[in-house]
Amino acid sequence: MRYEMKTEGNEGIMVKVGIIGSTGYAGQELVRLLLAHKDAEIVWYGSRSYIDQKYSDVYGNMFKLVDAKCMDDNMDELSKQADVIFTATPQGLAASLVTEDILSRCKIVDLSADYRIKDVATYEKWYGITHASPQFIDEAVYGLCEINRDKIKGARLIANPGCYTTCSILSLYPLVKERLIDVKTIIIDAKSGVSGAGRGAKVANLYCEVNESIKAYGVTTHRHTPEIEEQLGYAYDGTPLLVNFTPHLVPMNRGILVTAYANLLDGVDEAQVAAAYEKYYKDETFIRLLPAGKCPETRCVEGSNYTDIGFMIDPRTRRVVAMGALDNVVKGAAGQAVQNMNLIMGLDETEGLMLPPMFP
């Protein structure tokens, strides 16, 4: 058994990992991925809500695979036991737990938004909370591996991108970077499965409330907007762009689909658009550029770390429709976090992530 063999010791390094927030959906997906990761071992299943309960009582799928009990979020103690800490926690919590001491002892990959936005005022405005450790924001590297790979390798603190954000940026990055589109016309219409809403007990996320329906939410106000704008801005002229971002809730467990619209600049043709995507992604393991005329579908990436990208050009309106699909819990959260861990720990970037998408 692969994940049992690991405890028998192997020739290479064995990264010791702690997870704060291991009983959320992203935290649990970290567990799934790390159990099958040959160079990592989970030493701390943190979960405020379930301290001292068996992890497998919280997630029955982990029965007989995880024997551990849930621990508190004592990051100080954890940092003495772990090489890498994943914080898969509500907004604001990671910012309140990180200290220089901890960072001096181990790497942190934060799956929350706390260190994603460089401008504290922007963060505090969109999230409505005061940032508890702004002194680390500058140092934090935005962990979108395909774009920031080199910076990530040397980082102590990774701001793991949001799920909508990853899909939106990857879908548009080459077009912005190569200046093929009018960046003032970008509209991102995104659709997400329900796991993105987390495991909190809310009426709005009950089966009967979500099933057999679709809705937009957070229209013009969703918190992933400034993150997208900042990162696409870096690809353009260094200052944030201004985009419309509209998320929708879709009755399915996993998956994000982004349908993004923008006006092509004068003279730009389909070949140039295709070439731009090729230029940045053709060697990327986890980005699959679809053949011309094919649209991405979330079912084709489920359970995997892939982002599928395709585009269509409308010759009548001179707009490009750029589309991306990923699994919000994998490439949109836990998978990308492991990818970041691999990079900062000097492992093969793809280790533990070469899972073929599961269908149906």
Kindly identify the residues of this chain, within the stretch 184-223, that bind its own copies according to CB under 8 A.
185, 187, 189, 191, 193-195, 199, 201-203, 205-217, 219-220
Tell whether residue 117 is a contact of its own copies (CB under 8 A): no
| Using rule CB under 8 A, residue 355 touches its own copies | yes
Backbone angles phi, psi at 60, to 5 degrees: -60, -25
Q: Which of 308, 331, 338, 339 binds its own copies (CB under 8 A)?
A: 308
Stretch that binds its own copies, among 85-93, 134-142, 245-253, 266-274 (CB under 8 A): 245-253
Residues sharing a CB contact under 8 Å with residue 83, sequence separation 6 or more, in sequence order = 15, 16, 17, 106, 107, 345
Q: Is 8 in the site for its own copies (CB under 8 A)?
A: no
Distance, CA of 347 to CA of 178 (rounded, Å):
31
The reply to whether 316 sits near its own copies by the rule CB under 8 A is yes
In the complex, minimum distance from the CB of residue 328 to its own copies, in angstroms, rounded to a whole number: 11
Among 21, 25, 82, 223, binds its own copies (CB under 8 A): 25
- Interface with its own copies (CB under 8 A), residue from 63, 139, 237, 292: 63
The CA-atom distances, in angstroms, between 212 and each of 131, 208, 218, 302 are: 38, 8, 20, 20
354 sits near its own copies (criterion: CB under 8 A): yes
- Select the residue interacting with its own copies from 253, 270, 274, 275 (CB under 8 A): 253
The helix (run of H) or strand (run of E) holding residue 56 is: helix 55-58
The one segment of 127-135, 137-145, 250-258, 335-343 that binds its own copies by CB under 8 A: 250-258
**Minimum CB distance to its own copies smaller for 124 or for 209:** 209
Q: Using CB under 8 A, which residues numbered 266 to 305 contact its own copies? A: 285, 288, 290, 294-304
Q: Given its phi and psi angles, is residue 121 left (phi above 0), alpha (psi -120 to 50 degrees) or beta?
A: alpha
Residues 77-96 that bind its own copies (CB under 8 A): none
Residues 18 and 43: beta-carbon distance below 8 Å: yes
| Positive/negative CA dihedral, 175, 118, 18, 89 | negative
Position among 48, 244, 270, 275 found at the interface with its own copies (CB under 8 A)? 244
Contacts of 123 (CB under 8 A, 6+ apart): 113, 114, 116, 117, 131, 226
Decide if residue 150 touches its own copies (CB under 8 A). no
Residue 32 is a binding residue for its own copies (CB under 8 A) = yes
70 belongs to the catalytic site: no
Residues 70, 106, 163, 167: which is the catalytic one?
163
DSSP string, 110-137: E-SSTTT-S-HHHHHHHH-S--S-GGGT
Q: How far is CA 42 from CA 248, 304, 345, in A?
A: 34, 20, 15
